[in-house]
Homo-oligomer: A and B are copies of this chain.
Amino acid sequence: ALYKGLDSWDEVVGRIRGLHADTLRKLSSKCEDRFMAGQKDHLRFGMDSWSDFRLVTGKPCCEAGDAVYYTASYAKDPATSYAIKICRSKVKGTQQQFFHSLAVRQSLPLHFNIQQDCGHFLADVPGRLLPWEEEEEEEEEEGLKDKESDEAKPTDSKENVKEEEASSSGLSCGSLRSRVVVITREVPFQTVADFVHDGVSRHTLNPELYERQVCLLLLQLCSGLEHMKPFQVTHCDLRLENLLLVHSPPPTGQDPLDSTCPARLIISNFSQAKQKSSLMVDPGTLKDQSRLAPEIITATQYRKCDEFQTGILIYEMLHRPNPFEEHPELKEREYTWADLPPLPVRSLYSQGLQRLARLLLTVNPTERIRMSDARACLQCLLWGPREDLFTALGCSTAGVLSGASHCEATLQNWLDLKRTLMMIKFAERSMDLGCGVGLEDWLCCQYLAFASTESLSRVVHILQQP
């Protein structure tokens, strides 16, 4: 059947086009299996497993906004690394909020860019693993003697019970404190905040690479957030320090910052997350109004909050302050794109990121770009088609939008060629020793596998808006 119609060139070309698209979809799904290997196994560690975990070092591997992470090994599966996430929250109320956030997260099916919970419980944690608490306690002692310090110490009776249980865990020396502990398979090595902080000089020295890395991280962020949409979950607290970076694939000696795709991005800290059913609950607990979309304040409307916060993150990742922190007066009025501070043009990506930031920060939520379109814009910025292709071909915005057949044919040709090149890349990877296919290959494969002339012309149109 495959060889039927071999005398018709049109049919053969159509067949080859179909094979390429099908194969890229298959490869994309195989990549998912590889990059998420093991993660799809259902793991659920309980308190009873706590004593089987050992810290690999006494130093945290990552200090995030809501927790500190330690690399750990599990006695019953020593080949796999785990991360032990020790939550910073001390107040019992916050712990409750934490369990709420876990519940929200657990309502989401697995996604490559959303933190997976392999078990969580209240555990007794030695004080030395909670270095920030000592700092805070000192601060408290210095300035806030009147605040109740009772919270920091669990009751003695409880501690004794746990101490016995934990005595063989290697996690038991020193004074014990009861904390929410989460086990995850993904061991973060830094947060995006660290990445941005460490990237100041790289941004200056090699803006092309740094801003491409930013695009790849934003793409992962958007695709994680897009995944949450059908479940009506909104994160509501997208900050650099709540986004973790994990080596993927595991480090091979090469500095991840030298490759264009620096790492896998994991969205963490769902403590402020909203699910539609709970949308009306207590918006007053949301702190830091400078990070909230205006419509939250006026209409308790979270639907496009994550889009807005992603817009702010574009500024911050490009080493610019949050425009609404810098100009708090903006939110008081119907600001326009012209009111938003410009991003300096440093690379091929700057203008596209500027455009995207504006689309994400549009004051009216109904006009604000959707997460799926933002994701598509980032794919287009990363892998094309580039604007110059269209201008060179005299393929105007209007033409693209009206679906002029000339432009559509060009887009189809572009897609065919890109798919061929992607196939070649994978084919050549088969001859590489070691794990040849990288995270960026997968992300690009995903794009090309599911793109169509319609989706491409839509994005080209969005990015060409004046």
Contacts and interface: CB of A to CB of B under 8 A. Distances in A.
Interface stretch (A23-31, A52-60, A280-288, A304-312): A23-31
Contacts of A13: 13
B9 A409 contact: yes
A424 B3 CA distance: 16
B12 A413 contact: yes
Interface centre among A6, A7, A8, A427 (most CB of B within 10 A): A427
A14 to B, nearest CB: 11
Contact of A430 (B414, B420, B427): B427
Nearest to A34: B431
A9 B406 CA distance: 11
Contacts of A31: 431
Chain multiplicity (copies): 2
Contacts of A23: 424, 427-428
A144 interface: no
| Minimum-distance CB pairs A-B, first 10 | A426-B427, A430-B430, A429-B430, A12-B413, A30-B431, A427-B427, A23-B424, A16-B420, A426-B430, A6-B413
20 contacts: A3-B389, A6-B410, A6-B417, A7-B406, A8-B413, A9-B409, A12-B416, A13-B13, A15-B417, A16-B416, A16-B420, A19-B424, A27-B431, A34-B431, A423-B424, A426-B426, A427-B427, A428-B430, A430-B432, A430-B437
Given A6-B414, A13-B13, 14 more contacts: A3-B414, A3-B417, A6-B393, A6-B413, A6-B417, A7-B393, A8-B413, A12-B413, A16-B420, A19-B421, A20-B424, A27-B430, A427-B427, A430-B436
